[in-house]
């Protein structure tokens, strides 16, 4: 599915794929999260990961969807209380009432040994559905006010985001976190194991 199409239309193809994915295969569970990846017809396991497929973690959180949405949108110091991946984040530019450009610097201590720190420059789009579901979408962009910095390699988020759906009369929420990311490894043999490992580590922040 193409998650990078930023549209407010409830019926756009991206939204229907993100909210009700049909072609996902479960491949594991960790810390109460179910882990899925896009099903590929006839592909080998190695090729599967080298193509930077979308990976999704799904979990149930004991909070209402609005509170979770506000928590995920925050880039302040409080985020470090639950997101060990992020060193710091900021809004580079406000585009309109439902989108902006954000810069995230990732910490280095959770990455594989010897891997340089990564950062991400993202366009972020969000909306609330009539049923109380919140959707947050991201994809990498270029911006003249945020060039790559010394000491960081800029990873490329091809598509990703969150879908936060209320359940149990709003007391809990099902949170889906999706990422399709190119970590910009310079050695091809690192792609399969390391890319999968760090993507899953980032996804583990759902709960």
Mind listing the pLDDT tens digit for each residue in 17-73? Answer: 444 445 788 888 887 888 888 776 444 444 444 456 788 899 999 999 999 999 999
Residue 8 resides in a domain: no
Nearest alpha carbon to residue 181 among 205, 160, 153, 152: 160
Q: What is the pLDDT of residues 93-111, one digit of tens each?
A: 999 999 999 999 988 776 6
199, exposed or middle or buried, with CB in 10 Å at 0-12, 13-18, 19+?
buried
Residue 20 resides in a domain: yes
What mean pLDDT do residues 66-87 have? Answer: 86
CATH of the domain at 195: 3.30.530.20
Query: Is pLDDT above 70 for 11?
Result: no
User: Would you state the pLDDT for residue 109?
Assistant: 75
Rounded Cα gap, residues 82 and 60, in angstroms: 16
Q: Is residue 25 within a helix (H) or strand (E), and if so which, with residue range? A: strand 24-30
The total number of structural domains that make up the chain = 1
Strands 99-106 and 24-30 come out as unpaired
Residue 38, strand partner residues: 24
- Tokens found for residue 6: 């930023």
Residue 43: partners with Cβ closer than 8 Å, 6 or more residues away:
51
Residue 141 resides in a domain: yes
Rounded Cα gap, residues 95 and 101, in angstroms: 7
- Tokens found for residue 205: 């922040």
Rounded Cα gap, residues 175 and 203, in angstroms: 11
Residue 7 resides in a domain: no
- Provide the domain limits for residue 27: 13-206
**Are the beta carbons of 190 and 201 closer than 8 angstroms?**
no
**Are the beta carbons of 160 and 178 closer than 8 angstroms?**
yes
Residue 32 resides in a domain: yes
Q: How confident is the model at residue 123 (pLDDT cuts 50, 70, 90)?
A: very high
User: Would you state the pLDDT for residue 204?
Assistant: 67
């Amino acid at each position: 599915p193409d998650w990078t199409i930023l549209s407010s239309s409830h019926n756009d193809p991206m939204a229907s794929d993100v909210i009700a994915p049909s072609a996902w295969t479960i491949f594991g569970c960790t810390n109460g999260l179910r882990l899925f990846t896009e099903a590929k017809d006839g592909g080998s396991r190695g090729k599967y990961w080298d193509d930077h497929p979308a990976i999704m973690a799904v979990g149930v959180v004991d909070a209402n969807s609005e509170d979770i949405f506000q928590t995920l949108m925050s880039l302040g110091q409080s985020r470090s209380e639950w997101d060990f991946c992020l060193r710091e984040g900021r809004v580079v530019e406000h585009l309109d009432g439902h989108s902006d450009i954000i810069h995230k610097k990732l910490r280095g201590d959770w990455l594989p040994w010897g891997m340089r720190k990564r950062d991400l420059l993202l366009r972020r789009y969000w909306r609330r559905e009539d049923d109380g579901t919140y959707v947050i979408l991201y994809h990498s962009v270029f911006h003249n006010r945020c060039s790559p910095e010394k000491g960081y390699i800029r990873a490329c988020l091809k598509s990703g985001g969150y879908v936060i759906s209320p359940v149990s009369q709003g007391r809990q929420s099902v949170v889906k976190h999706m990422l399709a990311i190119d970590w910009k490894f310079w050695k091809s043999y690192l792609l399969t194991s390391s890319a999968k490992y760090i993507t899953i580590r980032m996804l583990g922040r759902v709960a």
